[in-house]
Amino acid sequence: MSAHIAHRRVGRAVTSVSRNGVRGTAARVGQWGVKPIARRLYLVEEHVWLVVPIVPEGRALPDGYVLRLGTGDDLEALAAIGGVSTAVGQSYLDRGAALYVAWRDDELAFSTWIHEGAVPVLAARGGLMPLPDRVVSFEDSIAAPAHRRSGIASAVIDEVTALQSRAGATAFITRIAVENAPALKWAESLGCRVVATVRLRRIGPWRRVRIEAAPGGEPMASMLAERL
Ligand SMILES: CC(C)(COP(=O)(O)OP(=O)(O)OC[C@H]1O[C@@H](n2cnc3c(N)ncnc32)[C@H](O)[C@@H]1OP(=O)(O)O)[C@@H](O)C(=O)NCCC(=O)NCCS
């Protein structure tokens, strides 16, 4: 099977909106000048899903940066650099997601979330996509604008994949909006492999999810199709 395409139509209200979904919607609503209430009525978003390589001896953190697990105390700084809101961040922490933060002096430079067991995904039923055992998902990676192109983002991803694989993870996945060219370039530079493109269209309570496998990405695309 060179491509796996799944179409699903689910006749029930989708009430949970992941941050990416809201952001995707907001961008489109902004373009169209439509009132925010339209976010709940109409949404189209398309993400590329990728497998992130495990790099046991990866890039070293650039000088001056310190990586650690984040806590609730990091959430305001995270929101301030454009990451998830403190409320969303707290909900991620409450459900057991791991927050990694890289600071330089008193500046939050980069942050990423690791989800195990299930990951918030708008396209999934109930807004959560269950993950297979030992498959973990990177979400909401963000570098503070002043720290972009410093190499900190890539070094943290290498470090986190190494740490998490030592803790038992065997595969890492992530998703990037198709229109997010800089992030896609970044993923390419990390050696990520595209496994599928997922397109979600939602009109009121109706949603349709289309999953298209990339060559060689069929097993991961099937995993997504079973869970979304
Ligand atoms: C995506 C993001 C995390 C990358 O952070 P970064 O600090 O630029 O990453 P790095 O410094 O590790 O970049 C490494 C490489 O990625 C590629 N890259 C990163 N940004 C790029 C851009 N804007 N254009 C082209 N290539 C880019 C380059 O190959 C770069 O190497 P180089 O600087 O030697 O050319 C950052 O742009 C960001 O926070 N964007 C907003 C949030 C987002 O879109 N997150 C990803 C989706 S969840």
CATH number at residue 76: 3.40.630.30
Closest C-alpha to ligand 1, atom 13: 149
> Is 1 domain-assigned?
no
Task: Identify whether 35 is part of a domain.
Answer: yes
Q: Please indicate, yes or no, if residue 216 is contained in any of the structural domains.
A: yes
Ligand 1 and 153: CB distance under 6 A:
yes
- pLDDT, one tens digit per residue, over 16-69 is 223 333 344 334 334 444 455 666 678 888 999 999 999 888 899 999 999 999
Burial of 6 (0-12, 13-18, 19+ CB in 10 A): middle
Least-confidence region, from 157-161, 196-200, 206-210: 206-210
Query: Does the C-beta of 140 come closer than 6 Å to ligand 1?
Result: yes
List the beta strands (DSSP E) in 85-127. 98-104, 107-116, 118-120
9-13, 69-73, 118-122: segment of lowest average pLDDT: 9-13
* 78 occurs within a structural domain: yes
Q: Cα(217)–Cα(198) distance, rounded to whole angstroms?
A: 12
pLDDT above 70 coverage of the chain, percent: 82
Nearest CA to ligand 1 atom 33: 149
pLDDT tens by residue, 67-107: 999 999 999 999 999 999 999 999 999 999 999 999 999 99
Q: Which of 173, 98, 101, 104 is nearest to 142 (CA)?
A: 101
Distance spanning both ends of the chain, measured CA to CA: 20
- Residue 67 confidence (pLDDT): 98
Q: Which atom of ligand 1 is nearest to the CA of 150?
A: 11
Nearest ligand 1 atom to alpha carbon 154:
12
Structure-token pair, residue 70: 């984040």
Question: Bridge-partner residues for 73, per DSSP?
Answer: none
Binning pLDDT at 50, 70 and 90, where does residue 189 land?
very high
- The answer, yes or no, to whether any atom of ligand 1 lies below 6 A from the CB of 176, is yes
Instruction: Count up the domains in the chain and report the number.
Output: 1
Q: Domain of 203?
A: 6-227
Greater confidence (37 vs 141) lies with 141
Q: In what order do the strands lie in the sheet with 107-116?
A: 6-11, 206-213, 193-203, 42-52, 171-177, 135-143, 107-116, 98-104, 65-69
- Which residue CA neighbors atom 19 of ligand 1 most closely? 186
Residue 102 pLDDT: 98
- Helix axis angle for 152-166 and 181-190, nearest 10°, is 50
| Residue 32, in any domain of the structure | yes
What's the CA gap between 207 and 11, in Å, rounded?
A: 7
Probe target for ligand 1 pocket from 52, 149, 192, with the most ligand atoms within 8 Å of CB: 149
